[in-house]
Chains A and B, each alone.
Chain A
Amino acid sequence: MMDRWSPYVSGMGIGLLSWAAFLLSDKPIGCSTAFSRTSGMIERFFRGARVGEKPYYKKFAPSVDWEWMLVVGVFIGAFLSAKLSGEFQGQWVPAKWAETFGNTPLVRWVVALMGGIVMGIGARWAGGCTSGHGISGTLQLAVSSWLAVICFFVGGVATAMFIFEVVH
C-alpha cells in the first residue's frame, strides 16, 4: 500500500468521517478530553474515589467514554497504516529534530515532555485541541473554534520559529 496519500484525500476522508461521527454517534471527533479522563483515572488509582469530587472531574468524569475509545482507535489505525506500508519503526529522535539539535534521546525526551505538559494545560484551558476545535468545531462554524485554531497556530508558529531559528 502506498505510504503517503495526498493530504487532500486524507483530509476529505476525515471530513466524511466527521459525517459518520455526527450521524452514528451524535458527537464531534475530538481527542483531548480523553487525556483529562485518563489523568483522573490515574489520580484515582493513587488517591482513591475522592478524586471524583474534584470540580473538573465532575464535568469530565474519569471513565471510558466514546472519545476515549476513539483515541485508542487512533493508535490502532495509525499502527495498521504504518505496518501496512512498512513504516513502523521505533524512533527516539525525529529526523528534523536531530538535524538541528543532535540525536541525543534525553534532550528530545525532556523537550517533548515539557511540550506535552504545556499542551495538556492549554488544550483543557481552551476546551479542545486541533481535532475538537481545529477540525470538528471549525466545520460546525463555531466562533470559539475558529478563534482557538488561529491561536493554536499563532502560538505554534511563534514557538517553533523561536526554537528553530533563535535557540539553535
Chain B
Amino acid sequence: MLKTLHGRERLQLFFGLAIGIIFGFLLQKGGATRYDVIIGQLLLTDFTVVKIMLSAVVVGKIGVYFFRGLGMAQLHPKPGSVGSTVIGGLIFGVGFGILGYCPGTMVGAVGQGSLDALLGGIVGMLIGAGIFSEIYPKLERSILNKGYFGEITLPQLLKKNHWAVIIPFAIAIMALLFWFQKSGL
C-alpha cells in the first residue's frame, strides 16, 4: 500500500509541501528561525537549537527503526568520505557561523520577515550552490572521494543490533538534555 503511495508523483509533491509547512511551523514555534537563537547556540549561550535537534533525533530514530522493522520504512543513509563530509562540513560550519542561519531555518526566517535571510542568506546560498555545481567535476576527481566510507550506519560500524545502539544512545541523549535543564543552559 505504501509503495503505491510513494509512486504517486503529484500526491508526493503535495506531501512534500504539507510536511514542509509543519516543519516550518515547528521550527518557528521552537525559536530556531531566529538569528539571535541560532547565534546564541553557536556562542554556546543558548542551547535551544541543540535541544530541538536532539529531541527530534531521539523520537525520530525510535520510530523510523521501528517502522523499518515492520517493513514499512527504508533507511536512506547518505554516503560519506573524509574529503566530502569533514571538509564540506567545516566549510558549511564557517558559513553557518557567518550567516547565523542554516538552510532550513533561513527559509523559516524569511517566513517571519527577516530580510537579511531573504536578500543575504537565500541569494548567497543560491550563488554558493551555483559555484559548487561549477567546481564539482574538479572536486569529484580530487577531494570528494578521499577517505570514502560509504553509506554505513553506526550499528553496522559497531557490528551490533540496531536496538543495542538506539536504546543506550537515546538514554545518553536524554541524560544530556536533562543535564542541560539542570545546569540552566
Interface string of B29-59 (1 = CB under 8 A from A): 1111111100110111000110111111111
- Indicate whether A48 reaches chain B with its CB closer than 8 angstroms: no
From A123, which residue of chain B is reached at the shortest CB distance?
B92
A side interface size, CB within 8 A: 129
Q: What is the CB-to-nearest-CB distance from A2 to chain B, in angstroms, rounded to a whole number?
A: 8
Residues of B within 8 A of A42 (CB): 126, 130
- Indicate whether B86 reaches chain A with its CB closer than 8 angstroms: yes
| Residues 1-35 (chain B) with a chain A CB within 8 angstroms | 2, 5-6, 12-35
Is A137 touching B78 in the complex (CB atoms < 8 A)?
yes
Residues of A within 8 A of B79 (CB): 127, 144
Judged by DSSP, the binding face of A is: helix
Is A74 touching B20 in the complex (CB atoms < 8 A)?
yes
A151 CA to B82 CA, complexed, in Å: 11
From B137, which residue of chain A is reached at the shortest CB distance?
A55
| Residues 123-168 (chain A) with a chain B CB within 8 angstroms | 123-164
Q: What is the CB-to-nearest-CB distance from B120 to chain A, in angstroms, rounded to a whole number?
A: 3
Judged by DSSP, the binding face of B is: helix
- Indicate whether B165 reaches chain A with its CB closer than 8 angstroms: yes
Is A142 touching B153 in the complex (CB atoms < 8 A)?
yes
| Residues 68-83 (chain A) with a chain B CB within 8 angstroms | 68-82
Interface extent on B, as a size class?
Answer: 35 or more
Told that A43-B133, A112-B121, A129-B104 touch, could you supply 19 new A-B pairs with CB distance under 8 A? A7-B49, A11-B30, A11-B51, A12-B55, A19-B63, A76-B21, A79-B111, A87-B112, A115-B99, A115-B100, A116-B99, A125-B88, A126-B89, A139-B57, A140-B64, A142-B77, A151-B89, A156-B42, A161-B43
Tell me which of B19, B39, B87, B99 has the highest count of chain A C-beta atoms within 10 A of its own C-beta.
Answer: B19
Is B52 touching A119 in the complex (CB atoms < 8 A)?
no
A56 CA to B140 CA, complexed, in Å: 10
Is B84 touching A127 in the complex (CB atoms < 8 A)?
yes
- Indicate whether B90 reaches chain A with its CB closer than 8 angstroms: yes
- Indicate whether B136 reaches chain A with its CB closer than 8 angstroms: yes
Is B100 touching A97 in the complex (CB atoms < 8 A)?
yes
Would A155 and B89 be within 8 Å (CB), given that A15-B58, A17-B19, A69-B20 are in contact? yes
